[in-house]
Structures are given as C-alpha cells and as structure tokens.
Amino acid sequence: MSPTGTLEFQAKDYKSDLKPIWCPGCGDFAVVQGIYRALAAIGRPPHEIAFVSGIGCSSRIPGYTTAYGFNSVHGRALPIAQGIKMANPDLLVLAAGGDGDGFSIGGGHLPHMVRRNMDIAYIVMDNQIYGLTKGQLSPTSYKGRTSSTSRYGSLEEPVNPLLYMLAYGAGFVAQACPTDLPGMAAIIEAAIRYPGFAFVNIQSPCVTYGEEGQQMKALKAIAEPLDSIGHNSADRLAAMDVAQHYGTKLSLGIFYQNPEPPPTYGDLVKERQEARSKDALPRERILDLFIKK
Amino acid sequence: MTTPAIDLAHLSLKDALDLAILVEDEAKERYEEFAHQMETHRTPEAAQFFRYMIENESKHGRELLARRVERYADTPSTVTRDMLWDVEAPVYDAVRAFMTPRKAMEAAFAAEVKAYEFFDGALASIKDPEVKALFVELRGEELEHQTLVKAEIAKLPPDNPLSDEDFVDPPSAVD
C-alpha cells in the first residue's frame, strides 16, 4: 500500500533521523510533533525552511526536523533568524527556544523583532525553569519557587511573556499546550501563516525539574480555550486583559491577531530598494567611481 | 492547506482498513520512540516491554494490511497519518526515566482504553455496514488487548516503594 494522501507533504517529511534525547515525558516531544503537523499543513518543502534556535533543552528542536537548522548561541536565535530572513526573504524562517533563552538573555531582542515586524514565527517552549543546567530559576518561574539554587524561594516576580509581546505591539500572540495537540498544531500553523512577527508561547512541562502542579495532568485540568470564553482575537486590549492571568490561568488559543497586518520589514526594504533603484548607478559603473577617485 | 479530518460518515471499507493500519503504525512508532527513550535513560525493563508492544502492534498492522491488499490490492489510499492524533499511541507524557515495568504496562493499558474509546465513539457516525462491522471487530480487539495487558500487570510483583523522584539528582545546595 502506498497512501497518496491529500497533501503534498506529510508530517513525517519534516521528521529527521535524529532521535530526541529529552527526558522521557518532556512536553517538547509533543511540541515537535505539532511543528511537523503545522509544516505539513503549510506545505513548504523542508529545503525552503530555516529553523533557528538558541541554547537549552528546547533549542535542540531544529535538529529533529529536516529543515535547515541552526542551534545557535544562547539568547541569539532571533537576530540570527532575522539575518537569514533578510539575506533570503523567500525562506520560511522559524525561531525557537525556551523561556530562559527567550525572555532572559535574549529578552532584549524581542521588542526589536516586533517593531521591525520581521516575518518570522517564534515558538517558545515555556517550562518556567532552566532544565538543561539542572533546574535553576528562569524568568517565568513564579515568585516563591524553590529550586536547586533558590532553597528559600524566588524573591522575583515572573516575566509575563504574553503581556510583554502584546505591549510591544506584536501582531500575533498565542499560547498553546501539548494537552491539546490538534489545537497546538493549528496555532503553530496560524503563526507561520501570519505575515509578520508571530509569537507562540507553549506551556511545555519539565518532567525532571518541574513541580507536580506544572505537569501535563495539572495543566489539562486548568486549560481554558479562548474560544470557550468568546474571546475576540482581533481586540488587542481584550487580549491584554486575558494575558494578565498568565501564571494563574492557562488560556489557550490566539490572544491577538492583527486583522490588518502592517508591512513587514522585508516588504519595506524591498519597497525602498525599488524606489531608490531608479536613481541608482548601473552596477558596472560603481567601480568606475572608485577608480576615478 | 490544513489537514482534513476523517469523515467517518463517508468512510469506505478501504479507507477504514487503511485507517486501522495507520492507527497500528502510529502506535508502533510511539512504542519505538519510548523504547529508545528508555534505553537512552537506563530503564531497560520498561524498554523491553515497549519492544514487546512494537511486535504486537506490528503483527496486528501486518494482519490488517494483508486483508487490505487481498481486497483492494494497491489502490491508492486517501487516508493519511496526519488525519490521526494519538488514537492507540500512548501519550508522550505517559513515560518517565526509571519507570517500572508496571508503570510501562499501565501506560500501554491506558493507550488500549483510548483506542477502544475511539472505535466505540466512531461507531455512532458510521453508516456503511461493512465499515461498522470492521470497527466493531477493532473495538473488540482493543478490549482483548486490554485483558492481555491487565493479565501481564497482575503477574508483576508490587512496585518498589521508591518513587521516580528518588532517582532525581538531589539539590546542589542544602539548608
């Protein structure tokens, strides 16, 4: 039997031969499945996709896909992804990493990605802990959280990534969880399809250093699809209202999607290049200018 | 284009057989992943059980494939794996490093229950009598598998009172 299927690509076409070495039970196993499904639904061939990550457990993810991958430097997935997108605008560019990578060392890049509106989908696997380095507090760890290096509990308020991204002006902000696999894949797909910078926060439990209340069973019990509360994803203020409950509620779905996406940085650059090219010297004469000098 | 969902109401027998094969295939692949995870994380007994499950799922898949080929030869299928989401495949969250064989079997048991519920729930939407008969058969097989796994669990001695947590590294700092 050779099923032809109804799509040009299937999820398996995006799965590499490399086997994940995450801890058994890790939420990231399901996340990568969701990415395979989303990419199959988009239908771009793997060689037209660049997948960039930083450092951390979740940053291993590009290697588990057949796309071009770059497991880069801690916190620097976004600037590298931006460079790739500008160098080859035809590529579909994805960036991924964890909450430590994205909101701590890499946190300074977020507002700039948003204000430039780079056409990149950024997927964060948020587990509220630094898992790879054996369980230290991360920027999304809740206040009071004890860890191997905070025996008396964290004194800091956590970052609220959803609220940050909305406040920065991101055109697409969503949250997903492997408790709802089809929902998660659909959100990733929508993020990739959004023409501009799209942010997806995925609650992906750490089975080794996460607490009982952060595991899949507990998340399933508190998950609330935004559709079920009649949320209007075209309303940024409504999105900010729901996003305030990050850490106390688990709202899943698209918080905000700009119904009229502004041009991307790539579009503006192209437009500028076309406008300026009228007065530009022919390429062969540029060297002459230097020689005359 | 978003992957279309399975239209159970209009499922032909060929598609139903293909679907059943894909269900087994999905479960087999998940057990392969689990066996690899357990071997990587020094949990050989659970790995051994998951290898046993790979054999079971493969065997069932081969039987279904033989029936499919006998009746429909190599007529292309219109059902794809992307239309399924963990029908008989145990959920990723079901496993842990250092899990006992009992817990591995319980994960498989839960997956068999899930598969039973899928076929049982689908029956209400199916109109074709041949497809209905196949789904009743598949549902019955899932029940048999549950019985088999349950019997294997019953043979096991009680788990060691130590929990998985006892194998996690202790904190680097202490009070």
pLDDT in tens, B96-129: 999 999 999 999 999 999 999 999 999 999 999 9
In this predicted structure, which of A143-152, B4-13, B57-66 has the lowest mean pLDDT?
A: B4-13
pLDDT at A12: 95
| B94 touching chain A per CB within 8 A | yes
Nearest chain B CA: its distance from A160 CA (Å):
26
- Per-residue pLDDT band at B62 (split at 50, 70, 90): very high
Q: Taking the CB of residue A156, how many other CB atoms lie within 10 A of it?
A: 13
pLDDT at A1: 34
Give B79 or A5, the one with higher predicted confidence.
Answer: B79
pLDDT digits (tens, 9 = 90+) for A7-16: 589 999 999 9
Nearest chain B CA: its distance from A58 CA (Å):
15
CA B72 remoteness from chain centre: 25
Residue with tokens 């639904």: A41
Cβ-based contacts of A21 with chain B (< 8 Å) = 40
| B99 touching chain A per CB within 8 A | yes
pLDDT at A91: 98
Closest CA to B51 of B66, B68, B69, B33: B33
Q: Is the CB of A7 less than 8 angstroms away from the CB of B74? A: no
Residue B130, classed as helix, strand or coil, is helix
Chain A residue with minimum CA distance to B78: A5
| A78 touching chain B per CB within 8 A | no
Q: Is the CB of A19 less than 8 angstroms away from the CB of B36? A: yes
Nearest chain A CA: its distance from B65 CA (Å):
8
| A149 touching chain B per CB within 8 A | yes
Q: What is the mean pLDDT of chain A?
A: 94
**A214 strand-pairing partners:** none
Chain A residue with minimum CA distance to B96: A24
**Dihedrals phi, psi of A52, to nearest 5 degrees:** -115, 140
Closest CA to A175 of A77, A265, A245: A245
- Per-residue pLDDT band at A3 (split at 50, 70, 90): very low
Residue A6, classed as helix, strand or coil, is coil
Looking at residues A41-52, what average pLDDT do you find?
Answer: 97
Q: Is the pLDDT of residue A158 over 60?
A: yes
Nearest chain A CA: its distance from B167 CA (Å):
10
- Per-residue pLDDT band at B164 (split at 50, 70, 90): low
Among B43, B86, B96, select the one facing A181 at the smallest CB separation.
Answer: B86
CA distances from A148 to A159, A211, B119, B168 (A): 20, 13, 46, 12
Nearest chain B CA: its distance from A221 CA (Å):
15
- Per-residue pLDDT band at B144 (split at 50, 70, 90): very high
Q: Taking the CB of residue A12, how many other CB atoms lie within 10 A of it?
A: 13
Among B1, B41, B82, select the one facing A24 at the smallest CB separation.
Answer: B41
Chain B residue with minimum CA distance to A215: B93
The answer to whether residues B52 and A33 touch, using CB atoms and an 8 Å cutoff, is no
pLDDT at B174: 55
Tell me the C-alpha distance between A269 and A271, whole Å: 5
Tell me the C-alpha distance between A280 and B174, whole Å: 68
Q: Is the pLDDT of residue A265 over 80?
A: yes
Q: Which domains does chain A have, with CATH numbers?
A: 11-263 (3.40.50.970)
Among B74, B82, B96, select the one facing A37 at the smallest CB separation.
Answer: B82
Q: Which domains does chain B have, with CATH numbers?
A: 11-78+86-156 (1.20.1260.10)
Q: Taking the CB of residue B173, how many other CB atoms lie within 10 A of it?
A: 10
**A51 strand-pairing partners:** A69, A94
